[in-house]
Amino acid sequence: MQELTKAGSEQDMNIPLQAEKQATKRMKKLRYIRDNYFLYLLIAPAIILTIVFKYIPMYGAIIAFKDFSTIKGILGSEWVGFENFIKFLSSPNFGTIFMSTLKLSLYGLILGFPIPIILALMLNQVRRAAIKKNIQLVLYAPNFISVVVIVGMLFIFMSPTGPINQVVTMLTGEPIGFLSDPDYFRSIYILSGIWQAAGWSSIIYVAALANVDPELHNAATLDGANIIQRMIHIDLPALKPLMAVTFILGAGGIMAIGFEKAYLMQTTMNLPTSEIIPTYVYKVGLQAGDYAYSAAVGLFNSVINVILLIVVNYIVKKLNEGEGLY
Amino acid sequence: MKKVKKVVVATLATMLIASGCSNKSSETASKEYNLKNVSFPLEEKVTLNFMTQSSPLAPKDPNEKLIYQRLEEETGVNIKWKNYTSDVFVEKRNLAMASGDLPDAILDASFGDYDLLKLAKDGAIIPVEELIEKYMPNLQSVLQAAPEYKAMMTAPDGHIYSFPWIEELGSGKESIQSVDDLPWINVEWLNKLGLEMPKTTEELKEVLIAFKTQDPNGNGKADEIPLSFISKPGGEDLAFMFGSFGLGENWDHTVVTNEGKVTFTASDEGYKEGVKFFNELYAEGLIDVEAFEQDWNTYIAKGKDNRYGMYFTWDKSNITGMNDKYDLMPPLAGPDGHINVARTNGMGFDRGRMVITSANKNLELTAKWIDELYEPIQSVQNNWGTYGDDKQQNIFEYDEEANMLKHLSLEGAAPVELRQKTNIGGPLAILDEYYGMVTTKPADAAWRLELLKDVMVPHMQAENIYPKVFFSIEELDRLSTIETDMFAYVMRKRAEWIQNGKVEKEWDSYLKELDRLGLQDWLEIKQSGYDRNR
Amino acid sequence: MNNKYTRMDRIILNINNIFLFLAVLVVLVPLVYVVLASFMDPTVLLNKGISFNLSDWSLEGYKLILENDAMLKGFINSILYSVGFAVVTVVVSLFAAYPLSINGFVGKNFFMTMFIITMFFSGGLVPTYLLVKDLGMLNTIWAIILPGAINVWNIILARTYFKGIPYELHEAAKVDGASDLLVFFKVVLPLSKPIIFVLAMYAFVGQWNSYFDAMIYLDNPNLHPLQLVLRSILIQNSTDPGMISDQLAMAELKKLSEMIKYSSIVISSLPLIVMYPFFQKYFEKGVMVGSLK
């Protein structure tokens, strides 16, 4: 980026001089590569794998613009332009479904982001290693439970006659329709997601905190700082780079929310909030294994995600002294 | 941004190069055997490659099933199977098609109408009507005996693209599928409380109230659930009850009046009255609070515990057992004395059961092999199971004199496991006239047919059901888009109204919303489909 | 360590511990439910909930799974796949992340863009399947390990971690005459134990719990991992109201799947929960202490 601005401001200068500067830059770059060939060797496996397994199949993305025929294959199929996109965008409930998706993902991100961090900070304060180990074990366990079972458990716990509603009925006389009321869908979806994943997600933060020099804490304590102050001034800064990256990537994944959990949690009555893009596409496309349609929707989502990523990255960089994804 | 441009260019270049590389091989179909005037058994054994699916309970190689072994002996054709379990089959099948790995044929293909038409259009599967005419006498006799199926097998463009599964159990109004959600009432409790079987909706309401308040199970707790159901289209829904108020309701919301008009059940005045009635029941606390969210397992569990006063299902033995505690409740007369049993549009007919792919080079051979499956005694076995197996339990015993396969009692073995381990499904035809000639009715089906005939058939007012119309691709597309949203909306509003009683107030805006979601188009398409089919 | 706690500190610590305790409770209760439920007769479970009446207990759920011969094979396959996958993806990610973490690395933005684009745009299932097929990797362990080994998120996490290692350590080593290679292997990697094990765990667990890739690429049932085996025992289908014999089939299968629901979780998570404590020690504090000295 910086090189670009420099070049721009020198537009009015001597052309030969500018060309010479470019040549020198290139020379420098080549020399760097030659001197540091080891670094390029290191990154080579990743590059090769990426090209082979991600870029070569990428031509398949154009299936979104085609009327996919199994015999003709992706390349031979008829080009239909934006037909699939229009079909999607003009579905009668598109607006509702889009907003449901956005809200579910966004609230999930905002609520789910701080919790693993807080957990890591709290765990960090536990002195006795044995206790800490056991707490961690318990907190990580829900991650291993499949979505199907989690939803099954939700239906049992939250049913009008289940344990939670038994308490509610005692207090208010009436059970709450957690599973049928559209207003509760999001909260239950997100909270159960946090229940399942927060512990596991905190691992990465715990690992980062493990690198904090205990000397820093000792010094701070001697200076009279209490735990909270130490957390804010020592631990948090250590986590900042990780937090920034996680948040940006999370924002860039908002439209990529999975289909399975919402689909399992749908009941006849909570559809106004539980029908999200992936579940809708699954139902409509279920008719025919319509790859093209779901690819078009996927592309639509990806474009939105990229935009979100760029925007959020920009914002975070501003707040985080220029440190973002790039 | 320069960097991004560089990357994009590099990417496009790679893609262009790579796209030249992907090839299509259709090596999975077997080679051409050049067999003409095929008659079985063949002199030399040949192999055909088929794809199929089966339940995880069944053997991994279908050739371990006795039926296929016998078929191989009779025909001299060895089938090499690509067998997938049902949970992964659809994905695998689609991938195979998409990657050009076409087998000779797919048996138990589970292709919906849309799939069939699309694949036909793409040229992945071939039309078979000529094959039927030239090489398939068994199937032809089936169609002669029951010509209505020919129209159902034929696509809008006049071709036939698949071989169907036909299983008749009863016919017309007496067909076993005509009512799926039968109402079962707890007669034990009725007797205990000295009540009579209700004959009108009002009487039912009183009976349910009595169930709730008079503690018929005698345990001192008011834990009886007077009425339960699963609020989803299907055999556990309370759709049956709408019959007392008008045209009635079924799982695809489609009823044909006796004047030949296709009607959407959920916009009918009678439907509204029915919903009002259910709301009354709800207000009295007579409906299972879990009815709107529970799944099959919860429903069954409570049923096994005999907690229901009344519930709905296909066959009571699944839920409360084959005993005298519960009995079928005859249809009730509504507020104006109207009695009706709405018929479902279900039929023992599966269009896309088997297809022949365009990679098949041995059409005569394949067609004749498939025709074996339509031979009456073979069809019967393929559907249910076999006889004379000394390694495991048999579904049938073979009566040599009468050339009949008689159903054996299962003696407590799990019918499902046994059937899935031994039957093969696939394309076949079992016509009503086969019973008593070639085979006997399975015990559970016979019982249910009797019940339907006695209790339900006399009250079925509709002379016609909506047939299995074969729509065009555009029509299917439009129908599926409309139905995804519209049906979900209908079920949601119904659930809401049963609980909050606002049906009268919201009825007009409900109708408007139905129109917005495409109801008029839906009616038009379905009506023209019906008219085409007569 | 003789830290003198202020009174404020003690209060905060107590609150901290209370919250942690509550968190553990909230998480634990449903987990206990899962374990208890795995021993119960599903009908009883759905009607009365957990009952401690021994007659309501049943080992059917476990029997159905453990007596299935595909299970042992599935188990072994899962271990193979998960270990193989973890090794490959961690190595690839670390090797890619290190250069990206170096300031002044020529091509950094180019490579980053290249990676990040793949997070958003992909060819989809069919072309990837065709590629794997054309490379002859179908029905081999490579179909499971290679395509997924590129995980950009992991690369970014590792890069963030590497950036956090103070540059003075690099300089100190270079001053002593170490080459890039040595710096990486002798200085940076040893300090990266936390991230290595986090990535390894994430990768191992992710692979252990997954079934989709195996479902698509591995036709041969002998190669199926545990989750796929469990899944086929646990089918969930919806009935077509028009078909008769399927009604009974559905009822039976659903009963089976209910029984297996909980016991399958216990069985498949057991190994992971047992292994975790061994990896724990790498998260202990002070890994970098002393390195500056």
pLDDT tens for C105-138 read: 888 999 999 999 998 888 778 889 889 988 999 9
Q: Which two tokens stand for residue C89?
A: 């993806």
Instruction: Name the residue range of residue B271's domain.
Output: 180-342+471-532
Is A159 in the same domain as A284?
A: yes
Same domain, A25 and A110: no
Residue A163 with chain C: CB contacts under 8 Å: 49
Which pair of tokens denotes residue A321? Answer: 């002294």
Place of tokens 């089959």: B89
Which amino acid makes up residue B515? D
Q: Residue C104 gets which letter from DSSP?
A: T
Contact partners for chain A, using 3 or more CB pairs closer than 8 A, are: B, C
Closest residue in B to C249 (Cα) is B416
Same-domain pairing of A136 and A264: yes
Q: What is the mean pLDDT of residues B367-388?
A: 90
Regarding whether A228 and A169 lie in a shared domain, the answer is yes
In contact, C27 and A195? CB cutoff 8 Å: yes
Q: Are residues B258 and B232 in the same domain?
A: yes
B2 within a domain of the structure (yes/no): no
Residue B275 lies in a domain: yes
- The answer to whether C103 contacts chain A (CB < 8 Å) is no
- Note whether B185 and B227 are within 8 A (CB): no
SS3 C159: helix
Confidence of residue C243 (pLDDT cuts 50, 70, 90): very low
pLDDT of C284 strictly over 60: no
Distance CA C144, CA C194 (A): 26
Note if the bond before B41 is cis, omega within 30 degrees. Answer: yes
pLDDT grade for B481, boundaries at 50, 70 and 90:
confident
Where does residue C291 rank: exposed (0-12), middle (13-18), buried (19+ CB within 10 A)?
middle
Residue A184 sits in a domain whose CATH number is 1.10.3720.10
Q: Are B169 and B449 in contact (CB under 8 A)?
A: yes
In a domain, B24, yes or no: no
Whole-angstrom Cα distance, residue A39 to residue C162?
14
Q: Residue B438: pLDDT above 70? A: yes
For chain B, list the contacting chains (3+ Cβ pairs, <8 Å).
Answer: A, C
Instruction: Say yes or no for a CB contact (<8 Å) between C235 and B349.
Output: no
* Same domain (yes/no): A94, A26: no
Q: Directed axis angle between helix A277-286 and helix B473-500, to 10°? A: 130
* Range name among A10-14, B91-95, B188-192 with the lowest pLDDT average: A10-14
The neighbour count for residue A149, using CB atoms within 10 Å, is: 18
- Say how far residue B70 (Cα) sits from the centre of its chain: 29
Helix axes A114-124, A182-209, angle to 10 degrees: 40
Helix (H) or strand (E) holding C193: helix C193-208
Please state, in angstroms and rounded to a whole number, the distance separating the CA atoms of residues A151 and A168. 21
Residues A37 and A111 in one domain: no
Beta-strand relationship, B182-186 and B326-328: antiparallel
Going by C-alpha positions, the residue among B412, B407, B411, B404 that lies closest to residue B423 is B407
CB B456 within 8 A of CB B97: no
CB A60 within 8 A of CB A74: yes
Give the nearest partner residue to B15 out of A58, A161, A267, using CB atoms: A58
The average pLDDT across A72-79 equals: 79
- Rg over CA atoms, chain B: 27
Decide if A71 is inside a domain: no
A59 contacts in chain B (CB < 8 Å): 15, 18-19
Query: Which one of B122, B289, B476 has the shortest CB-CB distance to A72?
Result: B122
Contact list, C47 vs chain B (CB under 8 Å) = 301-302, 304-305, 307
Q: Is residue A62 part of a domain?
A: no
Q: Which CATH class is domain C68-233?
A: mainly alpha
Total of domains in chain A: 2
**Dihedral in degrees, nearest 10, Cα atoms B159, B164, B167, B168:** 0
Q: Residue A131 and residue A139: Cα distance in Å, rounded?
A: 12
> Is A39 within the bounds of a domain?
yes
Q: Which of C9, C123, C153 sits opposite A61 (nearest CB)?
A: C123
Mean per-residue pLDDT of chain B: 87
List the structure tokens of B52.
């199929």
Reported as a single tens digit per residue, the pLDDT across B137-161 is 999 999 999 988 998 999 999 999 9
Same-domain check for residues A17 and A136: no
Lowest mean pLDDT segment, chosen from A268-272, B182-186, B252-256, B309-313: A268-272
Instruction: Say which residues have a Cβ less than 8 Å from residue B279's Cβ, sequence separation at least 6.
Output: B497, B498, B499, B500, B501, B503
Domain-terminating residue out of B441, B459, B488: B441
- Same domain membership, residue B139 and residue B67: yes
pLDDT value, residue C103: 83
Number of folded domains that form chain B = 2
pLDDT of residue C287: 44
Tell me, yes or no, if C3 comes closer than 8 A to chain B by beta carbon.
no
Is the distance from CB of B525 to CB of B475 less than 8 angstroms?
yes
In three state form, how does the secondary structure of B258-279 look?
CCCCEEEHHHCHHHHHHHHHHH
Residues B135 and B356: their CA atoms lie apart, in Å, by 14
What local confidence, expressed as pLDDT, does residue A2 receive? 43
Q: Which residue of A has its CA nearest to B497?
A: A269
Rg of chain A on CA atoms, in Å? 26
Instruction: Answer whether residue A306 is part of any domain.
Output: yes
Half-sphere exposure of A94 (CA within 13 A, CB side): 11
For C182, the enclosing helix (H) or strand (E) is: helix C180-182
- Indicate yes or no: CB of A56 within 8 angstroms of CB of B292: no
CA torsion angle for C163, C168, C174, C180 (degrees, to 10)? 0
Q: DSSP readout, B314-330?
A: S-GGGTT-SSSSEEEPP
CATH value at residue B157: 3.40.190.10
Instruction: Give the domain range for residue A132.
Output: 90-319
Q: Which chain B residue lies closest to C229 (C-alpha atoms)? A: B56
Percent of all residues in chain C with a pLDDT value above 70, rounded to a whole number: 79
Chain center to CA of A91: 27
Whether residue A79 is contained in a domain is answered as no
Residue B433, classed as helix, strand or coil, is helix
Q: Are residues B192 and B336 in the same domain?
A: yes
Instruction: Judge: A287–B232 Cβ closer than 8 Å, yes or no.
Output: no
Q: Say if the Cβ atoms of A153 and C33 lie within 8 Å.
A: yes
Same domain, B379 and B421: yes
SS3 sequence, chain A? CHHHHHHHHCCCCCHHHHHHHHHHHHHHHHHHHHHCHHHHHHHHHHHHHHHHHHHHHHHHHHHHHEEEECCCHHHHEEECCCHHHHHHHCCCCHHHHHHHHHHHHHHHHHHHCHHHHHHHHHHHCCCCHHHHHHHHHHHHHHHHCCHHHHHHHHHHHHCCCCHHHHHHHHHHCCCCCCCCCHHHHHHHHHHHHHHHHHHHHHHHHHHHHCCCCHHHHHHHHHCCCCHHHHHHHHHHHHHHHHHHHHHHHHHCCHHHCCCHHHHHHCCCCCHHHHCCHHHHHHHHHHCCCCHHHHHHHHHHHHHHHHHHHHHHHHHHHHHCCCCCCC
Distance (Å) from the alpha carbon of C202 to chain B's nearest alpha carbon: 26
Q: Is B187 exposed, middle or buried (0-12, 13-18, 19+ CB in 10 A)?
A: middle
Q: Give the closest of C114, C237, C252 to B416, CB-based.
A: C252
Predicted complex ipTM: 0.81
Same-domain pairing of A49 and A101: no
| Pair A249, A104 in one domain | yes
In whole angstroms, give the CA distance from residue A317 to residue A309: 12
At C4 the pLDDT is 54
What is the total residue count of chain C?
293
Q: How far apart are CA B266 and CA C276, in angstroms?
A: 56
Residue A325 lies in a domain: no
- pLDDT at residue B515, rounded to an integer: 95
> How sure is the predictor about A287, in pLDDT bands with cuts at 50, 70 and 90?
low
**Interchain contact, C215 vs B55, CB within 8 Å:** no
B66-75 and B376-384 are packed helices; what angle lies between their axes, rounded to 10 degrees?
150
Quote the tokens at residue B114.
């849309």
Query: Chain B partners of A161 at a C-beta cutoff of 8 Å?
Result: 289-290
Residues B432 and B332 grouped into a single domain: no
Same domain, A174 and A282: yes
Return the residue in C252, C255, C264 with the most chain B beta carbons within 10 A, the one to mutate for interface testing: C252
Q: Is B229 on the interface with A (CB under 8 A)?
A: no
> pLDDT class for B406, splitting at 50, 70, 90?
confident
Residues of chain C with CATH 1.10.3720.10: 68-233
For A210, which of C46, C205, C283 is closest by C-beta distance? C283
Return the C-alpha torsion angle A214, A215, A221, A225, nearest 10: -80
Res. C289: pLDDT tops 50: no
Residues A21 and A108 in one domain: no
Say how many CB pairs under 8 Å bridge A and B: 104
Q: State whether B56 and C232 contact (CB < 8 Å).
A: yes
Query: Cα dihedral sign for A68, A73, A76, A82?
Result: positive
Contact predicate B78/B131, CB 8 Å: no
Say whether C123 and A59 touch across the interface (CB within 8 A): yes
Predicted confidence at residue B311, as pLDDT, reads: 94
Regarding whether B506 and B420 lie in a shared domain, the answer is no
> Cβ–Cβ contacts within 10 Å for residue A9, how many?
9
Residue C274 at interface with chain A, using a CB cutoff of 8 Å: no
Is residue B209 pLDDT above 90, yes or no? Answer: yes
Closest C-alpha to B174, from B389, B348, B420, B368: B348
Q: Are residues B189 and B328 in the same domain?
A: yes
Same domain, A109 and A50: no
Does the pLDDT at position A288 exceed 60?
no
The per-residue pLDDT for C266 is: 81
CB B517 within 8 A of CB A92: yes
Per CB-CB distance under 8 Å, the chain A contacts of B495 are 180, 268-269
Beta bridge mates, B312: B183
What pLDDT, on the 0 to 100 scale, is given for residue A77? Answer: 82
Chain C residues with CB under 8 Å of B315 CB are 247-248
The tens digit of pLDDT for each residue in C174-218 reads 777 777 778 888 878 888 888 888 888 889 888 988 888 898 899
List the one residue out of B218, B237, B228 whose CA is nearest residue B309. Answer: B228
Q: Which of C9, C156, C261 sits opposite A245 (nearest CB)?
A: C156
* Amino acid making up residue B153: M
